Structure 1
Amino acid sequence: MSAARERPPDLQETAAGDGTQPGEVQPDEPPLDKLPLDDTRFSLFQLWNMNLGFLGIQFGWGLQMANMSSIFEYLGASAHNLPILWLAAPLTGLIVQPIIGNLSDHTWSALGRRRPYLLGGAIAAAIALVLMPSSSTLWMAAGLLWLLDTSANVSMVPFRAFVGDLLPKKQRTQGFAMQSVMVGLGAITASSMPWLLSHLFGVDASTSPSQRIPLTVEFSFYIGAALFLGTTVWTAVTTPESPPKDLAQFERRQAEHGGIFNSLQETLQVLRQMPKTMQQLALVQIFTWLGIFCFFLYFPPAVARNLFGAAQNDAALYNAGIEWAGLCFAMFNAVCIPFSLLLPRLTRRISRKAVHSICLACGGVSLVSLLLVHQPWMLLLPMVGFGLTWASAQSIPYAILTYAIPNQQRGIYQGIFNFFIVLPEIGIALGFGWVMEHWLHDNRLMAVVIGGFFLLVAAVIMPFVQVQQLSEPLPEPVSARRPVEISGHTSEQSADSATEKSDQLDDCPRAVDSADDSRLGEPATS
């Protein structure tokens, strides 16, 4: 059932049977897109529906993060081969996300603005998830990873833009926090699924020449395909998008801006005009994701090889180590969920910068401390610290960024911001294999520890970010109701209603620097 926005009592929707259709605003009431932005709030149930599709996407990502390195090793890959085999993840993000972000900014169809991308990506990703555990060769698994990551990125970008489209400013951090909750729920279930299938449902976790990938992993991917597609469809059905106020004008803009070539041109132009805050956050993001990518690449095989002591031909011990690593992934994501809910309260008391810096430091110390771990259960303690990093990385940088970018270009800026996640990952994918082979001698645990040092560098840089905000935020009419990040209204509608002002703000954004996020023109909780 589609959730409607909460409105003041005198602006409530009429009930069926009073002469109007359910959900229709009475004639003497102002239309919804004329309501003041800060007077419209979303209920928790509405936020849940809008973000539910992200749970399915994160289930897919969670399966990949917890299992792809082991799948590659099951199929014969060495530790120094893993980075290049993972190249699909960052490279597809680099190419797909800004293009899809810009295209969705300039799209309107029978399905709406973002929903065509959500549904198309979900269908293709579900196919890749079904086929992945049937891979018989290394090249087949690598090829399917390219399909999976491309499809997941096509779905994920519109979710990111939803926060900027729908939520009033005071709910933005709440919207991003709800996104982190979905990230946590999806990743917890995905990461622990092989262990649960083996220990609770008795599914065989062994391997053989005819079953190179365990059945526990195979069934987990089938479940992931169903969740990815099912939750995305739910969000699309319960969160309809409203058309632009002036559809004819929007279609003219669509004709001018549509197309991949124009998208690339606009991406390059916007890249040259990045706000100062975004430039400085970029450096923090680079070191953050160098550390996180090292963790995801090597933590599962590090647990199996370094802690469980599995030899190359000891499949049973290796499988046990991979399953335990999945539980560790579930642990840090379990920490992520309640901490995500605390983030708005914390940012009310201290600046977002301080909270994010502390969280990054917690993750860095936790990964370095793995050198002191000698028992499997001890791994759960560092996962608490990494969970704080994960929750903060999924929300606070985006909350800071949202206030520093023009409303009508939010989609493309969100895509460009992803550059500073995928570029360091591409660097790891292309160069870290040589480091593993010649310096670390395929020591997977040391690769994870190096990731911890990267996080500590990011923590040191974060306090120096100068927060900016457009001095006159654009009036944002109500737009597409979408799933994951929800902020004001549709980018195009903002441009339609305030073209002259938006052009001035785009060309020369007036910004307010602040050493403390709480001094912005709105509460630090937003």
Structure 2
Amino acid sequence: MTEGNGAPRGGEDEDVNINAPETPRHSEGNSKPIHEESPLLSASEEEEDDDLIVNDGGLEDDHDEYHDTKSLWYMVLLTISIGGLQLAWSVELAAGTPYLLSLGMSKSLMALVWIAGPLSGALVQPYVGILSDNCRSPWGKRTPFMVAGAVATIVSLLALSWAREIVGGFLSIFGADRASQGVKVSIIVFAVLWVYVLDFAINTVQAGIRAFILDCAPSHQQEAANSMASRLIGFGNIVGYLAGYLDLPKYLWFFGNTQFKILCVIACVALGSTVAISIITIRERDPRLEAAAPKAKGGIIAFFSTVFRSIRRLPPQTRKVCEVQFFAWIGFFPQLFYSSSYIADIYVQPALEANPHMTPDEIDRLYENATRAGSFALLVYAITSLATNVLLPFFIAPSYDSPVYESTSSFHSNRSYTTRFSRLLDALIIPGLTLRRAWLGSHLIFATCMFSTLIVRSIAAATALIGIIGISWALTLWAPFAIISAEVSKRDALRRARESQSRLRNHTLDRESDPESSLDIPEDQAGVILGIHNMSIATPQILATIGSSIIFKFLQKPRGTPGDRSIAVVLAAGGLSTLVAAWLTSRIKDEVELPGEMVPTEEPTREERRSLSRERGLVRSGSYSGLEY
């Protein structure tokens, strides 16, 4: 990595002693560099001319490289792990159900198995977020959880895919017949166990990756980082759907003798390699240089108490985003699970009506072809989502620009030049089309498509409908994470700047005159906030599962019976909740200034200008603006 495009990888952090006595450091006889966390400035530095504070967009000595504008390749390396994770998700979601059914599991038991995903998302991610926020590992806060979660996910996928061989081989040692009912039941129990372990492991690595992206991307590039993450998620989806569509045993027989085994091996390789690339090339802040958080009580009660306290003090934008996500995911969860079945249902209806007395084998062949039609629709859906993630950021207006002291000629934005390419990108921006408004429009598109499922009854039109929903899915993977990440990252930058400014002035902030900026006010970090956000995603999935089950109970017809419209009703019901999400999105502001962020009207002191540089070293919040090759 080139200097300025990543965290310092040399020995700078090791030279810092945050507990050093507060005596002035002179340039003679002491060559240790000043770090952001260092309590003092050198005497020689205080005599510098103010014009030397800013140089080409960065501070000469006491500046935080994590606020520097990062390159496109930095963003790719930072977010590539989430693409590998998505491939693992797609294997579980797309191929998990047929595999479990092939083991002899009933559909009623299947519902209990797949509720593990929402449950683990609601519980595991907040818990991992709290643990990672308090982690003091020299490798960083998030890296240990990314590694542990990735290893557990790989082990779970391999154990699940080889369940027959593992259980059958073990029980055969004791003389059990692999074809006996007891062995079959044991295989199902073993598989269900590893499905739950897999869901918990995936949520662990996902919590670590999301917080890792937030921590390592600058405040003004949070939209760019999350936009890149959504593109890689789309790419992972496409790879997963293509792999599921191909006859893998024909080409990759050395990975296994079944489609599911080979898919799991591919997912393991993708997840392991992408996580390794991210943690090797992108270095987190050393949490040992930050003030240690007070030790919290352990146990389940303490965990839930911490979560409830964190929910009450969520930042304002984050709270509104969580409200939107709650209602949006009541609609998205059925769409994710039943879109292919909706296409398949349309595919089989004409044949069932023309020949109501088909044999079971003929019905199986018909539904097999219908499943392929549904898979093709999902492929169109994934391509549309990826295309939206790639193209839409060019047209999105930045949420905020960096303010400057216009009265101070020496203090400028950290990007004072333009290029022909950057001017071209600026010309593509649609005035007024902010990320929040695009997200609002995506909810309306989704609701319209869901209502249309009640009247669309042709394969081509239904495939187009599912493809259009890919636009909404792209914004769902991008907008909420970008809005939350921008707010949390800005708040974290302000907190660090205030702490540094307080040490520079060698006195504490006046808590009574400015209580909101007091360092004693507890502020949750990225891990727990993103965990709570995931709770707002996972909890409505449980409600959607229950609601869908009720609708299916009254409207579903036996397999092979014509006239079943239950899936369309379930999808349309999800569109109603998405309208509520659209209304809540309209109440979100495009930009909220944090306490203590207002630009002062009078000339700042040298320390204030240095602190502001760290607080608001922003260029643009655009998803491509500021990304340089």
**Please, what TM-score do these two structures have when normalized by structure 2?**
0.64
Q: Specify the alignment match of 2:275 in structure 1.
A: 232
In 2: Cα distance, 1:290 partner to 1:331 partner = 23
Identity %: 20
Q: Deviations over 1:255-289 (max 9, x none)?
A: 61485655543222111222343333233211211
Please tell me whether residue 277 in structure 1 is matched to residue 317 in structure 2. Answer: yes
Match of 1:425 among 541, 550, 557: 541
Offset at residue 359 of structure 1 (A): 1.1
Q: Specify the alignment match of 2:5 in structure 1.
A: 6
Offset at residue 398 of structure 1 (A): 1.9
In 1: Cα distance, 2:126 partner to 2:469 partner = 28
Equivalent residue runs for 1:406-425 within 5 Å: 406-407=491-492, 409-425=525-541
Please tell me whether residue 93 in structure 1 is matched to residue 114 in structure 2. Answer: no
Change (3 A) 1:87 1:473: farther
Equivalent residue runs for 1:111-130 within 5 Å: 111-130=139-158
In 2: Cα distance, 1:101 partner to 1:470 partner = 25
Q: Specify the alignment match of 1:183 in structure 2.
A: 233
Offset at residue 74 of structure 1 (A): 4.2
Q: In the alignment, residue 358 of structure 1 is paired with which amino acid?
A: G
Q: Specify the alignment match of 1:463 in structure 2.
A: 586
Decide whether the 8 Å contact of 2:249 with 2:262 is kept in 1: no
Residue 622 of structure 2 aligns to a residue whose secondary structure is coil
In 1: Cα distance, 2:299 partner to 2:209 partner = 20
In 1: Cα distance, 2:271 partner to 2:214 partner = 23
Q: Specify the alignment match of 1:515 in structure 2.
A: none
Offset at residue 428 of structure 1 (A): 2.4
Change (3 A) 1:275 1:471: closer
In 2: Cα distance, 1:100 partner to 1:111 partner = 16
Decide whether the 8 Å contact of 2:448 with 2:575 is kept in 1: yes
Q: Specify the alignment match of 1:241 in structure 2.
A: 284
Change (3 A) 1:130 1:392: same
Q: In the alignment, residue 70 of structure 1 is paired with which amino acid?
A: P
Q: Specify the alignment match of 1:480 in structure 2.
A: none
In 2: Cα distance, 1:55 partner to 1:285 partner = 22
Q: Deviations over 1:135-177 (max 9, x none)?
A: 5665444332211110011101121112331222221100000
In 2: Cα distance, 1:302 partner to 1:134 partner = 31
Worse-superposed segment, 431-440 or 353-362: 431-440
Number of residue-to-residue matches in the alignment: 459
Change (3 A) 1:133 1:12: closer
Q: Specify the alignment match of 2:136 in structure 1.
A: 108
Offset at residue 83 of structure 1 (A): 4.0
Q: In the alignment, residue 225 of structure 1 is paired with which amino acid?
A: C
Change (3 A) 1:321 1:13: same
Q: In the alignment, residue 219 of structure 1 is paired with which amino acid?
A: I
Please tell me whether residue 344 in structure 1 is matched to residue 393 in structure 2. Answer: yes
Change (3 A) 1:447 1:83: farther
Decide whether the 8 Å contact of 1:181 with 1:340 is kept in 2: yes
Q: Specify the alignment match of 2:426 in structure 1.
A: none
Offset at residue 446 of structure 1 (A): 3.2
Q: Deviations over 1:262-318 (max 9, x none)?
A: 554322211122234333323321121111110122223333344245986543333
- Segments of 5+ residues of structure 1 without an aligned counterpart are 15-19, 204-210, 475-497, 503-520
Worse-superposed segment, 55-64 or 104-113: 104-113
Equivalent residue runs for 1:385-396 within 5 Å: 385-396=468-479
Match of 2:295 among 241, 256, 270: 256
Please tell me whether residue 327 in structure 1 is matched to residue 327 in structure 2. Answer: no
Q: In the alignment, residue 573 of structure 2 is paired with which amino acid?
A: I
Q: Specify the alignment match of 2:567 in structure 1.
A: 444
Q: Deviations over 1:337-372 (max 9, x none)?
A: 232234433330323322101112222323333445
Match of 2:90 among 62, 69, 76: 62
Q: Specify the alignment match of 2:179 in structure 1.
A: none
Decide whether the 8 Å contact of 2:220 with 2:486 is kept in 1: no
Change (3 A) 1:472 1:257: same
Decide whether the 8 Å contact of 1:4 with 1:46 is kept in 2: no
Change (3 A) 1:193 1:359: same
Q: Specify the alignment match of 2:210 in structure 1.
A: 160
Q: Specify the alignment match of 1:517 in structure 2.
A: none
Residue 112 of structure 1 aligns to a residue whose secondary structure is coil
In 2: Cα distance, 1:194 partner to 1:340 partner = 23
Q: In the alignment, residue 535 of structure 2 is paired with which amino acid?
A: F
Match of 1:52 among 55, 62, 80: 80
In 2: Cα distance, 1:110 partner to 1:522 partner = 30
Q: In the alignment, residue 244 of structure 1 is paired with which amino acid?
A: P
Offset at residue 454 of structure 1 (A): 3.2
Q: Deviations over 1:440-469 (max 9, x none)?
A: 457334323433443344224321234663
Q: Specify the alignment match of 2:328 in structure 1.
A: 288
Q: Specify the alignment match of 1:365 in structure 2.
A: 448
Decide whether the 8 Å contact of 2:143 with 2:212 is kept in 1: no
In 2: Cα distance, 1:271 partner to 1:378 partner = 43
Change (3 A) 1:354 1:112: closer
Decide whether the 8 Å contact of 2:161 with 2:261 is kept in 1: yes
Change (3 A) 1:453 1:82: farther
Q: Which structure has the larger Rg over C-alpha atoms?
A: 2
Decide whether the 8 Å contact of 2:437 with 2:586 is kept in 1: yes
Q: Specify the alignment match of 1:486 in structure 2.
A: none
In 2: Cα distance, 1:285 partner to 1:185 partner = 23
In 2: Cα distance, 1:382 partner to 1:454 partner = 19
Q: Specify the alignment match of 2:364 in structure 1.
A: 315
Worse-superposed segment, 318-327 or 410-419: 318-327
